[in-house]
Amino acid sequence: MKFFVDTADTREIAELAETGLLDGVTTNPSLIHKSGRAFLDVVKEICAIVPGPVSAEVIALDHEGMMKEAEVLRKIADNVAIKVPLTLDGLRTCKTLTGDGTMVNVTLCFSANQALLAAKSGATFISPFVGRHDDVGFDGMKLIADIRQIYDNYAFDTEILVASVRHPVHVLEAAKIGADVVTAPHAVIKNLFNHPLTDKGIQGFLADWQKTGQMIS
Ligand code: E4P
């Protein structure tokens, strides 16, 4: 399973990139606002840090407007994936862009039928939002399992990019279902490294090692 980080903070991205575990980045207008930086500058900088797909979202709601914005965004770097909303105009734009060889991430997916439409439109990625789905009393992971089954039934190439991830259990469940990608906030990815028994084990080994009076050199 691929790991993307869901942030527009380039320091967070650079830190994770150094681990070699980072396969891509997703941004959205709210994350750009949080960064306090100019959208195009941030996307350019992220694309230089991470060679994998970097999602940059269009703001226009009509096909022509989305295409104009996509033209600007895809010129930034070859690894830009244009993020479009799951609407009729969004999927029309998706069809045009992927037909042209541009990666497209279809975002704000909340039903398996929407995911089916996105795959038929040639989406590179479909982004079902599990956390926001859970927030309103649905089972976000059931959505991922349904999409996995449908995509496997018809051998769609569209990658399931689990989004709106809130905690490590979302990551675990996504991996068990066989999602292709998880995009998670920096803090959630950092949490995946942690286990209290790992910390306790390190402390125990260090204490015993010091008693040996030896050094590794
Ligand atoms: C995905 O691409 C979105 O940017 C993101 O996962 C949204 O997550 P949120 O529900 O935490 O805002």
| Atom 6, ligand 1: residue with shortest CA distance | 164
- Of 126, 119, 121, the C-alpha closest to 95 is 121
Distance CA 3, CA 184 (A): 8
Q: How far is the CA of 185 from the centre of ligand 1 (A)?
A: 8
Residue 29 neighbours by CB distance under 10 Å: 14
Distance CA 116, CA 123 (A): 10
Distance CA 82, CA 56 (A): 5
Ligand 1 within 6 A of CB of 6: yes
- Start-to-end Cα distance in the chain: 38
Contact 82, 105 (CB under 8 A): yes
The torsion of the CA quartet 19, 20, 21, 22, rounded to 10 degrees, works out to 100
- Backbone φ and ψ of 38, nearest 5°: -75, 130
Express each pLDDT in 126-137 by its tens digit: 999 999 999 999
Q: Is this prediction's ipTM beyond 0.90? A: yes
| Atom 1, ligand 1: residue with shortest CA distance | 163
Catalytic positions: 83
Is pTM, for the whole model, over 0.90?
A: yes
Q: How far is the CA of 133 from the centre of ligand 1 (A)?
A: 11
Collapsing DSSP to helix, strand or coil, 181 comes out as strand
Ligand 1 within 6 A of CB of 105: no
Ligand 1 within 6 A of CB of 65: no
Question: What is the per-residue pLDDT for 64?
Answer: 98
Collapsing DSSP to helix, strand or coil, 215 comes out as coil
Reported confidence tier of residue 156, pLDDT bands at 50, 70, 90: very high
Express each pLDDT in 89-125 by its tens digit: 999 999 999 999 999 999 999 999 999 999 999 999 9
Domains of the chain plus CATH, in order, are 2-212 (3.20.20.70)
b/e per residue 123-159 (b: at least 16 CB within 10 A): bbbbbbbbbebbeeeeebbebbbbbbebbeeeebebb
